[in-house]
Amino acid sequence: SWIALNARGEEGGVFNAKTAELISHHQVEINQSFPKEGWVEEDPREIMQSVHECIERTCEKLCKLNIDVSNIKAVGVTNQRETTLVWDKDTGEPLYNAIVWLDLRTQSTVERLINKAPGRNKNHLRHKTGLPISTYFSAVKLRWLLDNVDEVHEAFLSQRAMFGTVDSWIIWCLTGGKNGGVHCTDVSNASRTMLFNIHTMDWDPELCRYFDIPMEILPSVRSSSEIYGWMVSSDTPHITLRCLGDQSAALVGQMCFNEGQAKNTDVNSLFFDPVISDHGLLTTVAYKLGKDEPACYALEGSVAIAGAVVRWLKDNMGMVQSSSEIEKLAAAAGTSYGCYFVPAFSGLYAPYWEPSARGIICGLTQFTNRNHLAFAALEAVCFQTREILDAMNQDSGVPLTQLKVDGGMTSNRLLMQLQADILCIPVVRPTMSETTALGVAMAAGAAEGVGVWSLSPGQLPHVTSERYEPQINSEESEYRFARWKKAVQKAMNWETTEPCYNGSGKSLHTGSDFSC
């Protein structure tokens, strides 16, 4: 069998290119650090250690299955797209920790940029980038590193600095690092920096001047399915490399090659031409499957704190010992009993783009217990998806008739049923949930010069799936969704300098109502 290998920072998997079967995989959890409130970092060295460990352990498992690792024909890299790194090209060492996509340290920079935009319009650059000015994207993180980290500034002045998202760092390291490593990214990752023009499909000098980013530290931009270079390692075969951003890889893994198809890790809907959203969604490059192939675009709504809700209940609140326990708690309640959880830990992303929002839990009574909170946490994921799908339907003018889902949370069957109930449309879950890994393996195997995987419509692998139909009436769904939207409004504008209460003790915002 022909085999493609996926290495995604914390996870590696080997797929059979004829059947799309996951043959072997290994996973390593990458630690995040929180140096200050709102700051989120990862160690670039640990990222590479996890890559090497995943590749080595996956190959060991192949050998135990009596599969020759020389059958591996290509490595595909998929990654968190906006997470930002700068490293020294002479020493090969990172100059600072990776600043993770949901980090909020650049909020003052974002406010300054919005204030200088005409009409203080956060969408001032959307016509080129498809994105609002936000802490979410790489340009402002890179600007912070250049302004605040002496090592980064000095390396730039001496022409030693290299910038990249996680894909660029991994590819550079795997192809030789300081000894001739390839410094590149693909269009799906570049389109999340705010420095990339989604129409010209290249770095934009005007955008770089706007953020005062030197173009010489940027990686070259390639398609999502071509040979970037060859892997250099004594422990693994010399095999070719290519990459694809995580959400884009999931689109490919879900076989979304037709206009209007949608899937949900973050919520994406595919288009052949860039559609600029009027309802708070992002316009992003989905993929470009070959040097001479046209780019495909996506409308995307980022549900920034979906899986993190469960992690917060586990790690911060100690409600459960493992993520799987959340489903048992929620099922025991069967309802939130009027409790609503808005997990705006880092503000609200699509469709609001409101960085001043903060998380709230409201509707509490003496009857509320941890089971109801668990149910409310799962509902919050579904409500966020509903908001984005509503915006997507308004932008496209074509209501979606079903939603394909992927990612780790899809193993939660109660969540899948809740999602169908809240959306009032069927939810389709592949039995093999790692569609992101499958997608980048398909793109790698289909590259010119590799050619072990065909993406032609008649030759796509069949992936079995489960289907969840709505089980509640639309009136109940609409009632619960309306209550959620009320809770969202109470989470808005939390980070302000205004006093919360007037002299009579009443809330300035809600009269005699109190929100938690």
60-102 tens-digit pLDDT: 888 899 988 888 878 888 888 899 999 999 999 999 999 999 8
Residues 30 and 101 in one domain: yes
Among 96-100, 101-105, 255-259, 303-307, name the one with the lowest average pLDDT: 255-259
In a domain, 108, yes or no: yes
Q: What is the CATH number of the domain that holds 252?
A: 3.30.420.40
Residue 246: φ, ψ to 5°: -55, -50
At CA 18, angle to CA 185 and CA 270, rounded to 5? 45
In a domain, 295, yes or no: no
User: What confidence tens digit (pLDDT) does each residue in 111-168 have?
Assistant: 889 998 999 999 999 999 999 999 999 999 999 999 999 999 999 999 999 999 999 9
Q: Which of 133, 391, 134 is closest to 266 using CA atoms? A: 391
User: What confidence tens digit (pLDDT) does each residue in 189-216 have?
Assistant: 999 999 999 999 999 999 999 999 999 9
Residues 127 and 237 in one domain: yes
User: What confidence tens digit (pLDDT) does each residue in 336-375 have?
Assistant: 999 999 999 888 888 998 888 999 999 999 999 999 999 9
With H, G, I as helix, E, B as strand and everything else as coil, classify residue 276. Answer: coil
In a domain, 273, yes or no: no
Q: Could you tell me which residue, 430 or 337, shows the higher pLDDT?
A: 337
In a domain, 403, yes or no: yes
Residues 335 and 235 in one domain: no
* pLDDT range class, residue 11, cuts 50, 70, 90: low
313: DSSP letter: I
In a domain, 268, yes or no: no
Q: Which residues contact 363 (CB under 8 A, 6 or more apart)?
A: 336, 338, 339, 340, 483, 487
Q: If 0-12 CB within 10 Å is exposed, 13-18 middle and 19+ buried, where does residue 276 land?
A: middle
Residues 323 and 437 in one domain: yes
The number of folded domains in the chain is: 2
For residue 191, the model assigns a pLDDT of 95
Name beta bridge partners: 186. Answer: 222
Domain of residue 113, residue span: 2-256
Residues 330 and 242 in one domain: no
Amino acid in the structure at residue 474: S
Residues 252 and 341 in one domain: no
Residues 219 and 361 in one domain: no
Helix (H) or strand (E) holding 333: helix 324-333
In a domain, 417, yes or no: yes
Residues 370 and 453 in one domain: yes
11-16, strands of its sheet edge to edge: 22-27, 11-16, 3-7, 72-79, 240-245, 229-230
User: What confidence tens digit (pLDDT) does each residue in 399-426 have?
Assistant: 888 888 877 778 889 999 999 999 999 9
In a domain, 364, yes or no: yes
Residues 88 and 228 in one domain: yes
User: What confidence tens digit (pLDDT) does each residue in 291-304 have?
Assistant: 888 898 888 887 65
Q: Which of 348, 355, 343 is closest to 381 using CA atoms? A: 343
